[in-house]
């Protein structure tokens, strides 16, 4: 296509607009081609894609991109095969058979209010963190949807279609790194956004080399200040676009309401499988558990533990909401949720060359400083809601103190960065003695002022019964390669501080004691390792959440269905009205419980895809074929998630996992060793690999002959003891591949259940 000095994007888009059929080759996942493909799909063009079949090194790259599974492609080894496939398939004869009609059109039935979609950088850096904070402080904070690849890297095509349709605009943050598949993915999504008329903003720092097609359409900045200024103005200019989207959404909603009344299934919105993306809706269908009740009644400290996807964030958000509802009556709630970037700095500080006797002092002093200043900052903000004539003298004192103490008014991240920097400047590389370090720490952490602040807070909180502190995200930057001792003592220092704060918190001469409760949310697998590094770990107050009970897990889906119904229906009516009775002669409830890992995130993902299939096929209920489609999509999803979970411990995990294709459901250790050798991995690592795959719930232990259990709870040591007894008595070491993975790995179930 001739350029003639014009902007590339409009020229390319015009060419695609004039075409009925869009053809491209994705052998190397070229970013320019992916952008064009995304645009073609969004503008309802018939697409025909080819990929060279002998480029195995790109297979995983293609799989990781994930979204392209929806697109499909023709595999070839030479150009003759391309020609033969084209003449055989004749794509120009069914130009109406578009991905838009198959995958995007059905999403319109679930469009939400206008959103600002942000495709966050896949690199955990200060640049990325500061941009997230800028958007979260903008006027569009309440409608911001963040696609964070560090949280979830394999979202479905349907997820992007749904959120792009709802978005009034999109911001894509490209990065200079080896993570080319993320940039390719963002290019593809940006192309779709252009095609849907969302006028996306693509940004990158000056070290990034933009692809040729959209070089002129990307904003490349020199520094954070230039970027923030540009984005702030850009968002302000999108206000009219947002208002128009709200108006169109209202009209569309009225139209959809008339259509949805004809078919009850289309009224059902199962929400998001990630609690971070459904803060507002969560309250309408949150399912309380014994662990939640225990946390609500906590008066000291408790560690709230659960496996990834078990609902920790949903419990965190619901606990904060429920506690917050009591703010005016008896509780004061302080929520501390540092970003992963913030916590990395604390770990690095702890592992620095401070004296051993001083390290715990640093951790405890840092926590005390952060907690007291965060409570003061939050309480100061809460007092703005109270009429001035109703403020007590103590409350006015707190307002004055905070307003005249600059470091308290600073954002959490800024306060934390300042403390870490000051400690490093004072101690790292110096020859100060432990006593000198302790004296200097007192000044750095403003201990005299903090003591004064404690007394002021006691007065301002006089009418409260207790202070509730909720802390999340402490495990975000953690990996099994980290210094576990440093992380463990860092968390242990937090527990010590809370006990001390509980003792210290009183109101000057009035001596009213104010109990302080702390709830920490942390992943079960991380806590299991940490407990080996903490003194007297058996005395820690821990509540664990699990969903091994079939009735409880299915109740979660029932509540989400019920929230979309105008009239209350009991559980049996929901299953009878909206689900097929059986799937391949298996009762539907049993089918769901068998083929999902028992976690809220997983069953929601499964059911959302089954529901999407039912709506796409104009079914009046979720039929057996829809549930099979949910099973297939979910199995692919957890395979990609499995790769992420085990890659830090298993070299070339994708190659190893591919060896399990068509494997038997019940598999011996010897068979696994052979698969490891076939993948080119040293068989000496067999024990570590099996242990890792069991912890990831891909494999299950044989705890009695012909009965296998998966690690859905924290009883790993018990399961291994039971498995070793079976090995000793039978002479066989066997494992079972978890049924949810069967669809992707094409594994046939055995007769053993």
Tokens of 597: 């890992």
Determine which helix (DSSP H) or strand (DSSP E) holds 699, and give its type and residue range.
Answer: strand 699-704
Report the C-alpha gap between 506 and 457 in whole angstroms. Answer: 9
Tokens 């676009």 belong to residue: 241
Determine which helix (DSSP H) or strand (DSSP E) holds 250, and give its type and residue range.
Answer: helix 239-260
Q: 248-303: per-residue pLDDT in tens?
A: 777 766 666 655 545 677 778 888 877 777 777 777 788 888 888 888 888 778 88
Q: 350-383: per-residue pLDDT in tens?
A: 666 555 566 677 777 778 888 888 888 888 888 8
Report the C-alpha gap between 536 and 541 in whole angstroms. Answer: 11
Report the C-alpha gap between 443 and 423 in whole angstroms. Answer: 10
Higher pLDDT, 532 or 541: 541
Q: How far is CA 114 from CA 135, 143, 245, 254, 255, in A?
A: 16, 7, 6, 15, 16
- In this prediction the pTM is 0.71
Q: What are phi and psi of 175, to 5 degrees?
A: -140, 155
Higher pLDDT, 579 or 363: 579
Q: How distant is the alpha carbon of residue 136 from its chain centre?
A: 17
Report the C-alpha gap between 181 and 179 in whole angstroms. Answer: 6
Length of the chain equals: 753
CB 311 within 8 A of CB 545: yes
pLDDT reported for residue 673: 95
Q: How distant is the alpha carbon of residue 656 from its chain centre?
A: 26
Looking at the predicted structure, is the pLDDT value of residue 158 above 80?
yes
Q: Where are the domains of the chain?
A: 1-262, 263-276+547-641, 298-545, 649-745
CATH, domain range 263-276+547-641: 1.10.8.60
pLDDT reported for residue 8: 57
What is the DSSP track for 4-25?
TTS-HHHHHHHHHHT-SEEEEE
pLDDT reported for residue 156: 85
Provide the pLDDT confidence category of residue 41 given band limits of 50, 70 and 90: very high
Q: 668-718: per-residue pLDDT in tens?
A: 999 999 999 999 999 899 999 999 999 899 999 999 999 999 998 878 888
Looking at the predicted structure, is the pLDDT value of residue 568 above 60?
yes
């Amino acid at each position: 296509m001739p350029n003639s000095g014009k902007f590339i994007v409009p020229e390319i888009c015009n060419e695609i607009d004039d075409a009925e059929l869009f053809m491209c080759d994705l052998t190397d996942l070229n970013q320019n081609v992916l952008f064009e493909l995304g645009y073609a799909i969004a503008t309802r063009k018939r697409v025909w894609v080819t990929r060279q079949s002998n480029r195995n090194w790109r297979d995983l790259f293609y799989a990781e991109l994930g979204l392209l599974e929806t697109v499909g492609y023709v595999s070839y080894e030479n150009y003759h095969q391309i020609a033969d496939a084209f003449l055989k398939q004749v794509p120009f004869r069914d130009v109406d058979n578009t991905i838009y009609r198959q995958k995007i059109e059905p999403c319109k039935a679930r469009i939400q209010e206008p959103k600002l979609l942000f495709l966050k950088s896949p690199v955990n850096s200060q640049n990325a963190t500061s941009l997230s904070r800028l958007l979260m402080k903008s006027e569009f904070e309440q409608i911001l949807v963040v696609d964070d690849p560090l949280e979830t890297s394999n979202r479905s095509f349907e997820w992007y279609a749904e959120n792009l349709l709802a978005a009034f605009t999109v911001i894509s943050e490209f990065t200079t790194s080896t993570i080319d598949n993320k940039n390719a993915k963002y290019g593809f999504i940006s192309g779709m956004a252009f095609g849907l008329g969302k006028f996306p903003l693509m940004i990158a720092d000056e070290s990034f080399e933009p692809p040729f097609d959209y070089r002129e359409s990307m904003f490349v900045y020199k520094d954070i200040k230039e970027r923030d200024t540009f984005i702030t103005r850009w968002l302000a200019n999108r206000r009219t676009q947002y208002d128009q989207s709200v108006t169109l959404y209202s009209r569309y909603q009225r139209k959809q309401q008339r259509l949805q009344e004809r078919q009850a299934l289309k009224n059902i919105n199962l929400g998001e499988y990630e609690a971070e993306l459904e803060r507002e809706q969560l309250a309408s269908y949150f399912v309380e558990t014994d662990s939640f009740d225990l946390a609500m009644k906590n008066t000291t400290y408790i560690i709230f533990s659960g496996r990834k996807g078990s609902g920790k964030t949903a419990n965190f958000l619901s606990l904060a909401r429920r506690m917050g509802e009591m703010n005016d009556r008896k509780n004061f709630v302080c929520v501390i949720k540092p970003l992963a970037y913030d916590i990395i700095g604390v770990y690095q500080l702890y592992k620095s060359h401070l004296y051993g006797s001083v390290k715990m002092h640093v951790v405890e002093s840092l926590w005390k400083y952060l907690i007291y200043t965060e409570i003061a900052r939050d309480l100061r903000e809460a007092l703005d809601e109270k009429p001035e004539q109703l403020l007590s003298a103590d409350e006015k004192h707190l307002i004055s103190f905070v307003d005249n103490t600059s470091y308290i008014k600073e954002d959490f991240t800024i306060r934390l960065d300042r403390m870490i920097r000051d400690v490093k400047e004072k101690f790292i590389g110096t020859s100060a003695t432990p006593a000198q370090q302790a004296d200097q720490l007192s000044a750095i952490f403003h201990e005299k002022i903090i003591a004064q602040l404690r007394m002021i807070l006691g007065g301002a909180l006089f009418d409260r019964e207790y202070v509730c502190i909720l802390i999340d995200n402490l495990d975000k930057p953690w990996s099994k390669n980290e210094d576990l001792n440093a992380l463990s003592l860092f968390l242990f220092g937090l527990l010590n501080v809370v006990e001390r704060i509980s003792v210290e918190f009183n109101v000057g001469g009035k001596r009213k004691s104010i109990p302080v409760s702390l709830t920490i949310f942390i992943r079960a697998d991380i806590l299991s390792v940490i407990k080996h590094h903490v003194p007297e770990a058996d005395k820690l107050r821990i509540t664990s959440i699990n969903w091994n009970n079939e009735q409880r897990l299915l109740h979660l889906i029932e509540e989400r269905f019920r929230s979309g119904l105008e009239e209350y229906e009991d559980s049996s009516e929901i299953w009878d009205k909206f689900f097929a009775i059986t799937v391949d002669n298996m009762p539907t409830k049993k089918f769901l419980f068998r083929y999902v890992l028992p976690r809220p995130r997983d069953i929601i993902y499964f059911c959302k895809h089954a529901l999407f299939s039912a709506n796409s096929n104009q079914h009046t209920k979720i039929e057996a074929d829809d549930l099979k489609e949910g099973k297939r999509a979910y199995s692919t999803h957890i395979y990609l998630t499995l790769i992420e979970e085990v890659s830090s411990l298993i070299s070339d995990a994708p190659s190893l996992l591919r060896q399990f294709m068509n494997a038997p459901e019940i598999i011996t250790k010897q068979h696994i060793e052979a698969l490891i050798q076939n993948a080119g991995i040293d068989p000496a690592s067999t024990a570590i690999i099996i242990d890792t795959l069991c912890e990831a719930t891909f494999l299950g232990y044989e705890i009695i002959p012909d009965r296998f259990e998966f690690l859905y709870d924290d009883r790993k040591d018990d399961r291994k003891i039971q498995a070793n007894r079976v090995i000793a008595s039978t002479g066989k070491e066997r494992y079972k591949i978890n049924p949810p993975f069967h669809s992707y790995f094409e594994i046939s179930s055995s007769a053993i259940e």
